Chains A and B, each alone.
Chain A
Amino acid sequence: MSIDLSALLLRETPDSIIITTPAGEVVYWNKGAEQILGYASAEAVGKPLDDLIVPTEYIDQLNRYRHEAIANGFSTFETARRPKDGSLVYMVVSNKVVYDGEGRAEHIIISQKDVTHLKVLRDAKLVESQFRDLLESTPDAIIMANQTGRIVLANSQAESLFGYERGAMLGKLVELLLPSRYRGGHVAHRSGYFGQPRTRSMGAGLELYGLRSDGSEFPVEISLSPLQTAEGTLVMSAIRDITDRKLIERALQEKNVELERANKAKDSFLASMSHELRTPLNGIIGFAEFLSDGKPGPLNEKQKEYLGDILNSGRHLLHLINDMLDLVKVQAGKSDLVPERFRLEDAVNEVRAGVHPIAITKRIEVAITIADDIDVVMLDQQRFKQILYNLLSNALKFTNDDGHVGITATREDADRFRIVVSDDGIGIRAEDIGRLFTEFEQLETGTARRFGGTGLGLALTRKLVELHGGEIHVESEIGKGSRFSVVLPLAIKGARA
């Protein structure tokens, strides 16, 4: 009984033996090739070898050694090949060319040995000597893998994070550290990464999880960086366990939802309270007004005076409630602007007319200067007047008798204008300016309380300015006066002028 030893050798050798034409078309594919590269002989024969198993970045190298073999009869080199499953294996390749009777290349016999494991050991040795000390000193878990996705270094932080013995991760595929549902996708991602290696965080915006040796999962944050070495590109992953951070984030989120809910409840409470408070107040004011006008019958001076006091208190309270309702509405985003075309000068004059009685009483001159290049604007007219009214009545309130108040409007740029309300009144202390636009922060500087007011006016004013997409600033000096400066768009965004 004779044994065909050549056939036995070809069949049983662990190496991949392939025969191609000089152009690279596969004509023979042994069992070793089937095992290492994943393609059955029937799948491979007739196909170009380049398309089957050669990663794009190794095509040039393949051509170089193929030409060398055709010229010299023989070539040998180390390279990486892509098996059917998309992974990568390192191989030592020997090409041997068979010539026909006239010296033309007829076939190339390609013998390939899988040296992935040896390559891992080599890479491991290299990074071990170069980087181990450094990586042991970082707080993060560090894992380095080579192009085949095999771990060539894991620092002790990584070993304890994932629950492995010293050195136990070496040579394993990095997918070992991922929950199984992510593994398939990860192979494709890491092949892609070697195509365009750069430092970045992994899976931006995605929730990433690590898998411990005991099967438990934990959330991680991973940053990747390529590392060029004499043995090729390696990828370094810095891995951080973010379990604690996730817990805190979740707690904060829940707290936030709770706060939002509480805030909404507060807003709707205030809105309905304001409405409920106004109804009886309107009765108080209405009857006081009716009485003090002497319609139902004559009054003596004291009665007139006290009715006047009731009216003033009632109106102040009504003002407070209205401001509060406005503020709540603006804060709740329930206040929509109604854009309207109007002449800025007309609106300013109307607002001045509204404060005329106070100005006359205190003998304060209100000067208006409007630049020629501002005419018609497209704003919520009522809101604009409210802003200006608040600033103007403040200016009058905090300016002594015979003082000066000015309103100046100038063009800020192509799309915006600036309106400044200035006075030569009592001014604001530098340390108080920051609190100025906060609700109920009417300044307590000595005599300020005697000026009355709701303490809501400036907070509301700022909100209204911001609602228009504008900004408000204040400059002031004690005893010299204040300048409130508002920058507004000429037309509300989205509205057509």
Chain B
Amino acid sequence: MSGERILVVDDNKTNLKLVSDVLECEGYRILKASDAESAQEIIGTTPPDLVLMDIALPGMDGLTLTRHLKADDSTRHILVVALTAFAMNGDDARAREAGCDGYITKPIDTRTLPGVVAGYLQGRA
């Protein structure tokens, strides 16, 4: 039970719930946002250790928000892991370019997700 705080940003409610519940089960404290604007607000008040960021979002997209976070001294330390639709279509490269610390290809594999997330958090430590 690590207890780190993870913000999950996804406009698909089912996916948001799935990712959140799987990680919650592992003992993480979970914050949820369904768009970049409300994610920004949450980060301002309750800074998480890691953001799982869907790239395609209504309004501001996930990569734009990532650039904002990485440009700001007060949020630069927060790990951002992109949730990309396909590794094939170049989303992974775009995610790295925007400053993401890593990416996870959708669909989410509930069996491997906790390990991957733990790996990112440990890598930071």
List residues of chain A with CB under 8 Å of any chain B CB. Answer: 278-280, 282-283, 285-287, 289-290, 293, 295-296, 318
23 contacts between A and B (CB under 8 A): A278-B107, A279-B12, A279-B15, A280-B14, A282-B15, A282-B107, A282-B108, A283-B12, A283-B14, A283-B15, A285-B107, A286-B15, A286-B107, A286-B108, A286-B110, A287-B14, A287-B18, A289-B110, A290-B18, A290-B22, A290-B25, A290-B110, A296-B25
Q: Which residues of A contact B107 (CB under 8 A)?
A: 278, 282, 285-286, 318
CB of B124 closer than 8 Å to a CB of A: no
Known: A278-B107, A293-B110, A293-B111. A286 touches B18 (CB 8 A): yes
In the complex, which range does the number of interface residues on chain B fall in?
10 to 19
Q: Which residues of A contact B22 (CB under 8 A)?
A: 286, 290, 295
In the assembled complex, the CB of B116 is this many whole angstroms from the nearest CB of chain A, namely 15
A290 to B19, CA, bound (A): 10
Task: Select from chain B the residue with minimum beta-carbon distance to A284.
Answer: B14
Contact between B14 and A295 (Cβ–Cβ < 8 Å)? no
Interface string of B1-23 (1 = CB under 8 A from A): 00000000000101100100110
CB of B106 closer than 8 Å to a CB of A: yes
A259 to B24, CA, bound (A): 52
A318 to B106, CA, bound (A): 13
Task: Select from chain B the residue with minimum beta-carbon distance to A318.
Answer: B107
B18 partner, pick from A278, A283, A293, A318, beta carbons under 8 A: A283
A5 to B100, CA, bound (A): 111
Q: Which residues of A contact B106 (CB under 8 A)?
A: 282
In the assembled complex, the CB of A308 is this many whole angstroms from the nearest CB of chain B, namely 14
List residues of chain B with CB under 8 Å of any chain A CB. Answer: 12, 14-15, 18, 21-22, 25, 106-111
In the assembled complex, the CB of A339 is this many whole angstroms from the nearest CB of chain B, namely 15
A279 to B86, CA, bound (A): 12
Contact between B21 and A290 (Cβ–Cβ < 8 Å)? yes
Known: A280-B14, A282-B15, A283-B15. A296 touches B110 (CB 8 A): no
A287 to B22, CA, bound (A): 9
Q: Which residues of B contact A287 (CB under 8 A)?
A: 14, 18
In the assembled complex, the CB of B23 is this many whole angstroms from the nearest CB of chain A, namely 11
In the assembled complex, the CB of A227 is this many whole angstroms from the nearest CB of chain B, namely 66
A54 to B39, CA, bound (A): 94
In the assembled complex, the CB of B92 is this many whole angstroms from the nearest CB of chain A, namely 13
Q: Which residues of A contact B12 (CB under 8 A)?
A: 279, 283
In the assembled complex, the CB of A334 is this many whole angstroms from the nearest CB of chain B, namely 11
In the assembled complex, the CB of A357 is this many whole angstroms from the nearest CB of chain B, namely 15
In the assembled complex, the CB of A317 is this many whole angstroms from the nearest CB of chain B, namely 12
Task: Select from chain B the residue with minimum beta-carbon distance to A295.
Answer: B25
Known: A282-B15, A283-B14, A283-B15. A296 touches B21 (CB 8 A): yes
A199 to B26, CA, bound (A): 86
In the assembled complex, the CB of A271 is this many whole angstroms from the nearest CB of chain B, namely 12
In the assembled complex, the CB of A318 is this many whole angstroms from the nearest CB of chain B, namely 8
Q: Which residues of B contact A295 (CB under 8 A)?
A: 22, 25, 110
In the assembled complex, the CB of B12 is this many whole angstroms from the nearest CB of chain A, namely 6
Q: Which residues of A contact B109 (CB under 8 A)?
A: 289
Q: Which of B12, B21, B106, B107 has the most CB of A within 10 A?
A: B107
Q: Which of B15, B21, B110 has the most CB of A within 10 A?
A: B110
In the assembled complex, the CB of B83 is this many whole angstroms from the nearest CB of chain A, namely 11
Q: Which residues of A contact B111 (CB under 8 A)?
A: 289, 293
